[in-house]
Structure 1
């Protein structure tokens, strides 16, 4: 299984951490996001969306990070990370769809404004952050209620739902995500997800570095 990715991005970090959790072996093919390699050939022959990551497994080419995690978990027969029980699987699928359609876009605003823009010499746009704040807190409160009394999103152990939902928050300090208003969400992220070996192995830090000092 080849994973074409740049480990610094949200969705690439998600896939790499997820594959580590699943126990799925993979070969990383680096695609430099900031150099725009995802927008050129030969990568666009793999993923015409010009976005990372993408997976190549034999003659199967797959993009969409959550689909890659679903495939890998089934390929490895890892029912702990992606249960085969119909109700639990439907629950996980719900969170995966919600993450990509709602949670990711809201968290991404903080990443762009507080991380990417300053790194490129710009300044955060306070009006953009203010406009997004109500939506972020609305969504964060959904997770807050879900995690009240729970260590994990679904079931008694970590699943690909936990990895997917944590990924848009993976630089939460640098992003300046307002998590103090959501203590259950913050506790889940810092005390559960961030303690996973798979998460620590795929560490990304401020400045989009993958090397701990």
Structure 2
């Protein structure tokens, strides 16, 4: 299995951490995001969206990070991380879809304004951030409520849903994500997610570095 990715991005880290979490071996083919390698050949022949990551497994080319996690978990048969039980799997799938459609965009605004813009010589737009706060807190409250009576999103064990939902928050300190008032969400992120070996192994820090100093 090849993963074409840049480990610094949200969705690439999601897949790399997820595969490590699942114990699925892979070969990383580096695609430099800031150089725009995802927008040119040969990469766009793999993924016409010109976005990372993409997976190649034999004759299967797959994009969409959550689809890659589902495929890898199913192929590896890691039932704790992606149970075959119909209702348990539907619950995980629900959170995967919510992450891609709602949660990722909600978190990404802070990443762009507080991380990417300053790195490229610009300044965060306070109006954009303040206008977005209500939406973030609405969604964070949904996740916080879910985590109020359980250590992980779908119960007592981590699943690929936890990896997916944590990914947009992976630079929460640098991106100044206003999650502190959501105590269950904060506990899950800082105590549970960040203690996972797969999360530590795929660490990304301020400045989009993968090297701890």
Settle same-fold status: TM greater than 0.5: yes
Shift of 1:155: 2.3
Q: Say yes or no: does 1:107 pair with 2:121.
A: no
Which residue of 2 is the match for residue 94 of structure 1?
A: 94
Matched residue, 2:146: 146
For 2:209 and 2:41, how far apart are their aligned partners in 1? 26
Question: Is residue 2:198 matched to residue 1:179?
Answer: no
1:48 corresponds in structure 2 to 48
Size of the aligned set, in residue pairs, is 213
Does residue 54 of structure 2 align to residue 63 of structure 1?
no
Gaps of 5+ in 2: none
Distance in 2 (CA, whole Å) between partners of 1:118 and 1:209 is 15
After TM superposition, give the deviation of residue 94 of structure 1 in Å. Answer: 0.1
**SS of the residue aligned with 2:3?**
strand
Secondary structure class of the residue paired with 1:148: helix
Could you tell me how far 1:179 is from its partner in structure 2? Answer: 1.2
- TM-score, normalising length from structure 1? 0.99
Structure 1 gap ranges (5+): none
Deviations 1:75-105 (A, max 9, x none): 1010011011110100000000000000000
SS of residue paired to 2:148? coil
1:63 offset after TM fit, Å?
A: 0.1
1:1-213 superposed matches below 5 A: 1-213=1-213
Deviations 1:93-143 (A, max 9, x none): 000000000000010000000000000000000010011100000000000
Distance 1:79 1:169 in 2: 25
TM-score, normalisation: structure 2: 0.99
